[in-house]
Structures are given as C-alpha cells and as structure tokens.
Structure 1
Amino acid sequence: MQVDYIIVGAGSAGCVLANRLTADGKTRVLLLEAGGDDRPMHNPSQFLSNVMIHVPVGYSQTLKDPKVNWLYQTEPDPGSGGRQHAWPRGKVLGGSSSINAMLYIRGQREDYDGWRQLGCEGWSYDDVKPYFLRSQHQERGADDWNATGGPLNVSDMRDGHPVSDAVIDACVQAGLPRIEDLNAAQQEGATWFQVTMKNGRRWSAAVAYLHPVLKRSNLVVETGSLATRVLFREKRAVGVEFTQNGMRRTATASAEVILAGGAVNSPQLLQLSGVGPAALLQEHGIPVVADVPGVGENLQDHYVVGLRYRLKKGVLSVNEMSKGRRLVGEALKYAFLRRGLLTLSAAHIAAFVKSRPDLSTPDIQFHILPATMDAEKLATQQKMELEGEPGLTIAPCQLRPESRGTIRIKSADSSVYPAIAPNYLADPLDQEVAIAGLKWGRKIASQPALARYIDHEMNPGLGFETDEMLLTYARMGGTTIYHPVGTCMMGRGPMAVVDSQLRVRGVEALRVVDASVMPRLVSGNTNAPTMMIAEKASDMILGKAMAAREI
C-alpha cells in the first residue's frame, strides 16, 4: 500500500488531518486506527458500545469499555498516595472525542502567547485563533470570538437545572463575575459550559470531520490496525508497519508519516521506532535511529479533586433522574425530543478563579454538576455509578501544573502498554493550588444562593480544615480529568521533540500532530485545542507539499 501521507491515529487530530489533506481529491492518505468504526450499523460486533458513543451521557459507560477504550493504568503515583489511576483514552474512530465529556474550552490567550515565548514560532494566540474559528460552527452565531460554518458544532446545554443556576449565583456572591462566553476576552468568572453536540447527539471529530469524507477515493481508512513501528530509510520516515487481523502489514508514504496517537501513543510509537532517549531504546534492544531525549518526557495533566455535598431532601439532582421510573421517563424524553438526562455532559457549570489575587489570569477551573458518584463503588470497583440521594459535586483542578511526568516503553512489543508516571502534586506550587482550589470550592458552597440547597459536606467533610489535612485529602481523593499532553514537546532546546512546524527532530518526513506537542498545558479542556493544532498543521503540511510540487 503506497500513499502520499500516512496518519497514525484517527482521533481528534487524525480525523481533522484526514479531512483537510484529502480535500483536493488528489493527495492520497492512509488513516490507521487501532480501534474500530464508531458507527453502530457499520460495526455490529460493538453495536451497543457505539450507540453509547453517540448518546452524550454514554461517556459514563465508554470510559470503562475496552471495546472503545485503551483503559490505561498509571504506575503507582507517589504524590497521590501511591495509587494507580485509570487513564481512559479513545480507541475508536474519533479517539477520545468519541468518549469525552464534550466540553468546549480553548484556553487563555496567554497560553498560546506563552508557547510563542518558548520558541514555538507561529503559535501565538493571534496565530491560532483563525484555526479555532475555521473549525467551529457556533449555534449562537458568529461574533468577534466565534464563527459559523465549520465542521465542529458547538451548542448550549439542552436543559437547565435550578441547582446549577444557583451555583452561578453563588459564584457571583463569592466575588466572581457572571460571564456568557468562556472563550471570549475574559475567562475569569462563572457560566454554563458549551458542548460539542448537535441536536442532542455527540459531535465528535469522527462525526464532524471524518464521516462526511469517507467516500473520497483518495482516502483509505484501516481500522483494527495497530502501528508497531515507523519504517525508516536511514533518517527518513518512509512508511509504517502495523498489525491487522493478526497479520503484519506495511504501508509506504512518499511524502510524510504523521503521528496523531495522542500523548500516550505517539511517544510510545516513536520509542518503539528508534526515536527517543538512546539509553531507554538500547535497554529494550531497539536500534537507535535518532537520540531524542525529550520523547516521553514533559508529561502534564489536569489533576481534579472533588468536593461532594449532600443536598437537602426534596431537592432533585441528577442522581435521582438516573434511577427507576425517572430514568425510563428520561429515556423517552431523549427518544422523542433529544433532551433530558441522556444529553448530559460531565458538568453543567464552569468557574475559573485565581488561587492568589496577584495573578493576572485564573489558574483554577471548576467542573460543577448537581450529581455525586457512589464513592465506594468508584474506589473499590472503578465503577461510575450515581448515588440515589441528591448530591452536588464541585471539582477544582489546577490549570497550569508545574509537575512533570513521563511515558516510557516497557517492552519492544507494541501491544505492551507503556509505563505512565503522572507525578501528580510533585511540585510545591501544585500542592498550594490544590489547597486553594478546595478552599474556593467551600467558599462557593457557603454562599446563600447555594447553601439553601445543601444539607452537609460529605467530602472532605469534618476534620479537614487545616492546609495539611486538605493536602492529604487532595492526595488521596484526586485523579485525572483526562487531559494528558506534552510528551512530544514543540519548541527549542535539548528536550524539544518537534519544531514549530511539528517536524520530529533528528529525522526527516515525520511529524507529530496531537496534544503531545503542547509545550505547556492549556488553561482548560484539551479537545478543542487539539483540533486547532491539526487544523493549523494541515496548512503547514499542504504548504510544504505544494512547494515541493512546484520545485
């Protein structure tokens, strides 16, 4: 199989690339995906799993479903009580955009201006904003911060909730401004999240970018195809070896190989292919193509710590809506109206706050929902099940952690998961911000607008008042919010893996285009920024290809 470009990974970035690179009808692209087709009728072997992909609340099931999920486990993490953390990552067309919570956040202007200061030319906010806009179809309409006509549908929540409205009122009482758009000039404040849904249906990267172009004659999509290594001719990437249906296959690329596997898979595949820290590769008997020490380093993630509250009797929360006759009613509401519980995301309300008043921008994000998980089942069985009694979760995470972890292969076998060491709360600043986030959460919960709904605080609860105790709770009660980035860092310096054109250093004709190239974690959810990266990369790639043809 010979094409112009091979894209490894049909996730949020890979779907964008497949669409944009084949738009001319001539450029031949092979898209490899280890998982299966996300469309229920096209993949009977995982029909129910795929139905759960497209029903928004189905993420509560797909987050633990091995048919559509890599289900990684981290190494025991010292900063969080020696616990191992489940790291769901999408293994299906659409990747993690097919199993995520669909929250649409771009981050702050300062995030991207900061990238530029780290040597990422062309990645300032003014450089990347056009690509956010090109991607977006904002149901509210176009303005200075939003666009219409793009593939990615962005909508308001389908249904409100009185407790969530009270949360915003409480945030205002706590001193935060009420804002309308988290992606406009000011992020600090509280408002309802917007989501990547359309008419009550998940609008993943596969739905937005890939499904409409699957019939293009110059695009080949191979599912069930696990890449085992990139093939090199001396220092030039010329193809990919992969396994499919138990058979080993190869494909060659006349222009480039593009890795879009995400913050876990892309560094793993580079290391398996001989691009990475030389000592690690030699340890596993892998011939070194290029000694690039930063591959798998610089891992960053948002670590979230939830406060749980029991609401007063008679207050209807999401918990009760998920049980018995109410659940039947919600299912019927979804079937006929595409509204109700089944259109739910993981949070209603976003609040962005500063841990210290001297900061110029917020460094804490809250995900807030009138619902609580059964803590015992989550801890002992990793089972996401809502409680029966009314509850509220107020969950802060530090936006820009200083702690850094690693992704490192354990074997030369591509089917063996790599070692994921997140290194949560290792930096003292991260510990301070975790404590500040919990204090802010309590401050919001104590305001009159919200306090009238609350019976008592369940977690952390009584006895967790000092900073030392709050940090102990943060270590034992926190986990990932599914935003790993940084392991193929863009920029300059000895630990940079790709340059500002996303080309892998030390080799030719090989790029990485996904969240792993972020030099620093953005101030918000990572799906929209990942699609932006792929939109911008597609222009870079096509520009280079056009120049080559002209020569």
Structure 2
Amino acid sequence: MPLVDVARVQAQKYDYIIVGGGVHSSKLRLSFDQATGLLLASRLSRDPSIFVLVLEAGKPNFDDPKIMLPGQMYAQFGDPDYDWAFTTTVQEHAGDTRKPWMRGKSLGGSTAMNMMSWIVPPKGDIDDWEKLGNDGWNWDIFNRHLQNVASFTVDPPTSEAWKYDSGTMKIWDRNWGKGEVQLIHSRKVLPTQVTIHETFKAAGIPIAKDPNGGNPSGCFFGLSTVDPGTNERSYAAVGFYRLYENRPNYHVLTDAHVRKILLSGDEPNIVATGARFGHTGNVYEVTASKEVILCAGALKSPQILELSGIGNPKILSSHGIPVRVGLEGVGENVQEHVMLGVTNELREDAPGQTFDILRDPAAAAEQMRLLLEEKKGLFTVNVNNLAFLPLSTVSARADKLIADERAKINAGAYPPEFADQYDFMLQRIEQGGCGFEVIGFPGTFPSFFFTLSPEPGKRHLTLCAANNYLFSRGSIHIMSADPTQDPTFNPRYLEHDIDAQILVDMVKFLRKVFARAPLADLVSREVNPGQKFQTDEELLAWVKKETQSVFHTVGSLAMLPRSKNGVVDTSLRVYGTKNLRVADISIVPLHFSGQSLSTAYTIAEVASRIILASGEE
C-alpha cells in the first residue's frame, strides 16, 4: 500500500521486517550497494496473507527530476537530501587522505543516484563463491535468478550504441529477462565515445563476446537502467515498490532509523523478534512473527548487528554492549574497487561535444530543454564506454607482479582467514581474468572524484582505470553504542603494494591508448596527471593521492564458514540465530569484476527463494 505512517506500523502485525529499502550500488560505472530490500519485499508480499514491513532511513523522493532524469545524476552527489555523504578514515597507504563514500539517501538507496550502468560479473568470479565453501552459490544459480530481475529491450531505431557493438550483434539481438528493472542501450553516442571504442579495437582489445552472459572480457557499450518508454531512471523504488504499492500487505515506512534488532533466547537458538527504530524524534519497536532481514548495505548492516550484540566480543565489550553472538567476522573482510583517471585536452578543431559544456549554465539549460522537450542532447548520453581487460594487457610486468604475489601466498604471508581468497584472486589474474577496467568519459570528471580544475572553454576526454581485483581488506565498526553515530569506514586502500603497482601500470596503459590513432588525432595534451609525472615513483605518489572509491563495497558480513570468519551461512542466516538473515551485498565473500548493481539485485532474488522455501517447511 502507499507509504504508511508510524501509527499504522504500530497497529499492524508483521510476518517479516526488512531493514533497508535500497540496494547500495555506484557512480561513473559506480553502482553503490543498496537495492535489495524493496526487491525482497516485492517477492515476499506476493502472498496476500504475508505482511511485510520495510524500514527505510531515507526519504521517498518520488518523481524527483534529480533522480528520474538520467542527465541529473551528478546533481545528487554531496547533496544531503539525496546522499549520506560518508567519508573513510584517513587512508595511510593512499596519500593520507579521507575518501568520499557517497551512498543514496532516497527510498531505493543508491539505485536512485548511481550512473545506471548494468554489468554482469564474470562467470568464474561467481563460481569462486562456491569454492570458498558456499554450496549452491555458483554462476548457474546466479544467472537463472538474474533473468527474473531485469528486462532488456532491443531498441535499434533510437539506440546509437547498437551500431558500434557490431561484434556482439548475436548477443544483443534478442530480448531477454522478465524482471522489473528496465535495460536499454544508450540512445545517444557521442563521436568522441565512438573514437574511444575504435581506439580500443585498434589497440588489439577484442569486442566482448558475451558481456551480460558471464564473459565481459573485451570492449563494448554497456547497458543502462533506463525505461525505454519514459527515458527515465529505472530503479528499485519504481520497479519493486511503486509497481506494487497497492498491495495491502506491503508496507514501507521512510525516515525510520533502525537502532538495533530485538533478540530473545541464547545462542545457537537466538530468535529475532523485531526491531527498534527512531522516527521523527521518537523511538519505537515493531515485531515480526517469522523473520528479520537486514538489507541496509555493506556500510550499515554491520553497525546494526554490532549494536544488537552480534560481533567481535572485544569491540562490543569496549562499548558496553552485551554479547549475544560472538562473530569476529562482523565488519571485517571489507573489499572495494578503486579508480583514477587520465585526462587529455581536445584539439580546438576536434569534432564533437563533451560534458565540459555543461559547466556553462546557459549551455546546461539548453541541454535540459532538449532532454525534456525532445528527449535529445547530452543528458541522454550514458557513461557506458567500457573495456574489461586481463592484467597482461594493462601491465608490461604482469608476470613479475603475479610471481611476487604467488610467492607471498605460498610463504603464508597473509592471515589464514584470507588465504583461500587471495589464492582464488590470484588464480583469476593468472588465468587472464578481466578484473582491470577502462571507462571512457567524454569530459572531465566532477571535482568530488579528482582534483583536476579544467581550463574554462576547453573540452576533454578522460579514461578511467579501475582495479576490480584488490588484495587490500578493510573494516567497518561502531565507534560507540550511540546508533546515531556513523561507524568508522576503513577500507585500507592500497595497503597491499600490488594494488598500487597495478594502478601505476594502468596509468601507463591509458597513456598508450591516448597515443594511439584514432584517439591520438583528437587530443592535444595531457592535463591529468600531466607530463611532470613520469617515473614509477612519481606516478606511485600521484596514484596514492588520486585513487578514489568506485562505491562497490562488499564483504563486511561475509557468507563463509564460521571457521573462516563467516557471518552468514548459505541460507543467509546469521550464525547463532534461527531467523535473522542478511540479504544485501555485504554477504559477498570475494569481490568480482564489474559494477555491483546486477549482483546486488540478484542476491535479493536468490534470498527471496530461500526465505519463501524456508517458510513452507
């Protein structure tokens, strides 16, 4: 039913309480990580006898142009009405800087503010989850459930990206999927984006054979989460709530800040009975007869567990929180993707527009008019100029980097709880896994990403390098027992030297791409990092300062055996409990290449089947 008020919540008896109404997913290719709660609620509420409550901390922000219009995505970043605007701790291995961790603050979470890029991870990366001890969590299961999440509409009359993926016509030339998330090719492709794509091919990068079927290796124009009928953002609040809001058993309360999960009994049979939450200055409790399910994302779900007495006993005791379940893995194993960008200025006589003109208010207003009145212009252009590559393509010293890391693993240099992860990650790289991504961007990136201040009136092209196979591991933990205080976010970026060295080599690779025709014919000079950065030492210092998150945080409540610091089992139940589950991207045990959006949705789809099957037992 339409959004409920707290009085309605207090009067209703619920079967399931879901904490979080988003999917936390990212920008650029960024997808952040928060869309699972609404999808899960839409599946559970199909049975009219089952009452489901979603407690969402953000605002509804329905029908807001900053959300719905694809070209307005940047308008949300840093705006407290749309962005939680978290920051990390000082990163001692990444330039002693704090990094922004932006996350969506609207119903639908980060699906309401990401850059709408839809990438399906490589098959082998998902299969690694099963190898880590999670029976049934493999590519075949993942792909089967993925088809229930999204629908791809072939739109060749209005989609220019179609033309340039000529090597994948057999892959794109079909409608697939039957889900609520709408996917299309970009309807507008700029000449500069075409040039980038052609330069990728000139550099020997093949067209990806099956970018949405488990093999994104190569270059292609990716899909975007845009409704082909309205040309508006397709996201969790539309697809998994507004579509079903008239169900009388589907309730959503916004501005509801969960303070803790209510628990009864003792381990191993602890029962989650409900949740305590703050709303408009007051504190309330609500109960669930069947289950409580955490979908608050990789950044906030660990905090809620710790506040509820589930976590590392030393951390809980230090904040005066009674220990209900001792799980040292809560808030650990945090993994991310990171990126940086190399920017070149275009020649004065180079053809084509870039996003640079949007810095001129008059030009931006004209582009907005074109979008609203004619569905044309720059605001219909998506950032989906992609290449997923093996390390051997982006690094001239790939063999040495791999050999050095293999020697460390064989010598037992890493904590035993991470040994298998590191081994599988290195196996991916050794076998040519496409964990190293290049994103073409027609313009300069906004200042909250990189420190470049572009010269007025100039046009630019940026190639971003993303390292999706990081060895560094971070943590997220409470700072106090106060639920209104954010936890500490410490990803420990570039703590492992191989992570930084790969980024150095990726900068060199991007420079080679810029120096190759036809792209070389468009650019005049490099403005970021600039020619003063040449030696490995100079580039390493720049990399550490400039590296930013891609907002694909996972792993903080890992699905692993308890003996390996796991927090949830393969049924997504928190160890030591009978009916408390986690169904968001925090459960990912080992990161994957690509944007996190499709994976977050698919986890929720799988979770819904597990939960419904459990309820029938």
Residue 474 (1) aligns with residue 505 (2):
no
The answer on whether the counterparts of 1:164 and 1:348 sit within 8 Å (CA) in structure 2 is no
Name the structure 2 match of 1:356. 392
Distance across 1 between alignment mates of 2:349 and 2:47: 59
* Aligned-partner Cα distance in 2 for 1:51–1:532: 27
Task: Report the count of equivalent residues.
Answer: 534
1:384 is displaced (CA, Å) by: 10
Residue identity opposite 1:439 in structure 2? K
Distance 2:567 2:44 in 1: 23
1:495 alignment partner, one of 562, 565, 568: 565
Q: Which moved more, 1:291-300 or 1:58-67?
A: 58-67
Equivalent residue runs for 1:5-154 within 5 Å? 5-11=16-22, 12-40=35-63, 50-140=64-154, 147-154=176-183
C-alpha contact 1:355 1:436 (8 A) present in aligned 2: no
Match of 1:229 among 235, 244, 260: 260
The structure-2 alpha-carbon separation of the partners of 1:384 and 1:225, relative to structure 1 and needing over 3 Å to count, comes to farther
SS at match of 1:306: strand
Q: Does 1:309 align with 2:344?
A: yes
Does the 8 Å CA contact 2:209/2:215 hold for their aligned counterparts?
Answer: no
8 Å CA contact 1:267–1:487 kept in 2: the answer is: yes
User: Is 1:372 the counterpart of 2:444 in the alignment?
Assistant: yes
Alignment-mate amino acid for residue 159 of structure 1: K
Secondary structure class of the residue paired with 2:151:
strand
Would you say 1:541 and 2:572 are equivalent positions?
no
Equivalence map 1:119-518=2 (5 Å): 119-140=133-154, 147-179=176-208, 181-184=210-213, 186-198=215-227, 199-234=230-265, 235-315=270-350, 316-345=353-382, 347-356=383-392, 359-373=431-445, 375=447, 388-492=457-561, 493-518=563-588
Quote the offset at 1:451 in angstroms. Answer: 0.5
Alpha-carbon separation, structure 1, partners of 2:341 and 2:582: 34
Distance (Å, rounded) in 2 between the aligned partners of 1:337 and 1:218: 40
Q: What do residues 449-471 of structure 1 show as CA deviations (whole Å, max 9, x unaligned)? A: 10011111111211322222222
Q: Distance in 2 between matches of 1:88 and 1:424?
A: 16
Secondary structure, counterpart of 1:320 in structure 2: helix
Matched with 1:521 is 591
Question: Is 2:347–2:524's contact at 8 Å kept on the other side of the alignment?
Answer: yes
Deviations 1:217-273 (CA, angstroms, capped at 9, x unpaired):
111110010000000012211100001111111110111100000011100100111
Q: Assess if the C-alpha contact under 8 Å between 1:158 and 1:200 holds in 2.
A: no
CA distance in 1, matches of 2:495, 2:589: 19
**Alpha-carbon contact 1:372-1:387 (below 8 Å) kept:** no
- How far apart in 2 are the matches of 1:537 and 1:102? 23
Q: 5+ unaligned residues in a row in structure 1: which ranges?
A: 41-49
Contact 1:106 1:183 in 2 (8 A): yes
Secondary structure at the residue paired with 1:106?
A: coil
Q: What is the rounded CA distance, in whole Å, between the counterparts of 2:446 and 2:603 in structure 1?
A: 37
- Cα deviation, residue 343, structure 1: 3.0
Query: For 1:148 and 1:297, how far apart are their aligned partners in 2?
Result: 35
User: In structure 2, how many angstroms separate the alpha carbons of the residues matched to 1:238 and 1:384?
Assistant: 53
Does structure 2 conserve the Cα–Cα contact (< 8 Å) formed by 1:372 and 1:391? yes
One-letter amino acid of the structure 2 residue matched with residue 20 of structure 1? R
8 Å contact from structure 1 (residues 136, 146) kept in 2: no
Q: Cα deviations across residues 345-373 of structure 1 (Å, max 9, x unaligned)?
A: 4x230111112265422120112111103
> Does residue 601 of structure 2 align to residue 531 of structure 1?
yes
| Pair 1:385–1:413, CA change in 2 (3 A) | farther
Instruction: Tell me by how many angstroms 1:185 deviates.
Output: 5.1
Matched residue type, 2:38 = C
Deviating more after overlay: 357-366 vs 293-302: 357-366
Q: Would the alpha carbon gap of residues 194 and 180 (structure 1) be closer, same or farther in structure 2, given more than 3 Å must change? A: farther
For 2:399, the equivalent position in structure 1 comes to none
CA distance in 2, matches of 1:180, 1:117: 25
TM-score by length of 1: 0.93
Which TM-score applies when normalising by structure 2? Answer: 0.83
Structure 1 residues 384 and 3, CA gap change in structure 2 (3 angstroms): farther
1:530 is displaced (CA, Å) by: 0.1
- Return the alpha-carbon distance in structure 1 between the equivalents of residues 474 and 214 of structure 2: 32
Cα separation, partners in 2 of 1:463 and 1:187, compared to 1, 3 Å: same
- Of stretches 438-447 and 353-362 in structure 1, the one that deviates more from structure 2 is 353-362
How many Å separate the matches in 1 of 2:484 and 2:457? 40
* Pair 1:109–1:467, CA change in 2 (3 A): same
Amino acid at match of 2:436: I
Once the two structures are TM-superposed, the CA of residue 180 in structure 1 deviates from its matched residue by: 6.8
Contact 2:189/2:381, CA 8 A, preserved across alignment: no
Aligned counterparts of 1:133 and 1:434: Cα–Cα separation in 2: 34
Q: 2 CA distance for matches of 1:413 and 1:430?
A: 35
How far apart are 1:143 and its partner, in Å? 6.5
Question: Cα distance 1:70–1:384, how it changes in 2: closer, same or farther (>3 A)?
Answer: farther
Letter in 2 for 1:470: L
Question: Structure 2: how far apart are the matches of 1:275 and 1:499?
Answer: 15
What are the superposed Cα offsets for residues 455-511 of structure 1, whole Å, 9 maximum, x if unpaired?
Answer: 111112113222222221110111111111110000213310011111101222100
Q: Which stretch has the larger CA shift, 180-189 or 219-228?
A: 180-189
Amino acid at match of 1:403: S
SS of corresponding position for 1:61 = helix
Partner AA of 2:323 in structure 1? V
Alpha-carbon distance in structure 2 between the residues aligned to 1:545 and 1:532: 20
Query: Which letter maps to 1:30?
Result: L
Moved more, 492-501 or 357-366: 357-366
The one-character-per-residue Cα deviations of 1:66-100 (angstroms, maximum 9, x if unpaired) are: 11221101100111111001111112110010011
